[in-house]
Amino acid sequence: MEERCTVLTQEVFEGLARHAIRADEAVRLEFVNGKLGVKAVPDGDHGRIIVWLTQICIQSKQGLWLFPEQGLRIETYRKGNARPDGVLAPIDTFVGQGEWASAEGALMVVEVTSNDADTDRRDRVEKPRAYAETGIPVYLLIDRDAGEVKVHSQPDGVRYEQVVTVPFGKTVELPGPVGIELDTAPLTAWAR
């Protein structure tokens, strides 16, 4: 019997993701580092964290919005697709771009860890590399498992050169172009 191997391209992935979302709204697919991944459905605490962060962003920066679940085309070497939990960008950045938008104009991407087996590899390893490679200035990881916030900044095209880690309850600066001081105390109520 002859075994056949199909290479997953960005175009094939986008078609697959489009059909998967129509079939079951609970399915969220991503294509990062050449691997197909399934993103867990957010729980109530996860959603509350995104609402909290959205309020902070819009109160701090006029003309910006934290777009939840905006699909982005990422990576330069391997074309990829990620659906961050939030993308901070000027309010008209994604107008007319469809489900998978260019990451150009994104000031910050946000991921909140979920209770799934892929969180460690996806949110802590693959996505920081992919977002840095794409040139997104700030990657904010809200790690509910570890009870800490990691702020990645200064992408060099391969990785983020600066990573600041603080436990929930401390204040951390989200560096330029974001420029917001983030008091993480409320996160203690939404951690596991």
pLDDT tens sequence across 8-60: 666 666 665 554 544 444 555 555 556 555 555 556 687 899 999 999 998 98
Cα angle: 64, vertex 169, 187; to 5 degrees = 55
pLDDT tens sequence across 116-150: 666 667 778 888 999 999 999 999 999 998 999 99
Side chain identity at residue 178, one-letter code: V
Q: Looking at residue 24, what is its pLDDT?
A: 44
Tell me which residue of 152, 147, 139 sits closest to 170, measured CA to CA.
147
Name the burial class of residue 83, with classes exposed (0-12), middle (13-18) and buried (19+) by CB atoms within 10 angstroms of its CB: buried
Domains of the chain by residue range: 42-190
List of residues 6+ apart from 133 with CB closer than 8 A: 74, 75, 76, 77, 155, 157, 158
What are the residues facing 112 on neighbouring strands? 142
Fold assignment, 42-190: tt1808, chain A (3.90.1570)
Q: Are 178 and 108 in contact (CB under 8 A)?
A: yes
> Both tokens of residue 24?
């079951």
**Alpha-carbon span 139 to 154, nearest angstrom:** 10
The continuous run of DSSP H or E covering 164 comes out as: strand 160-167
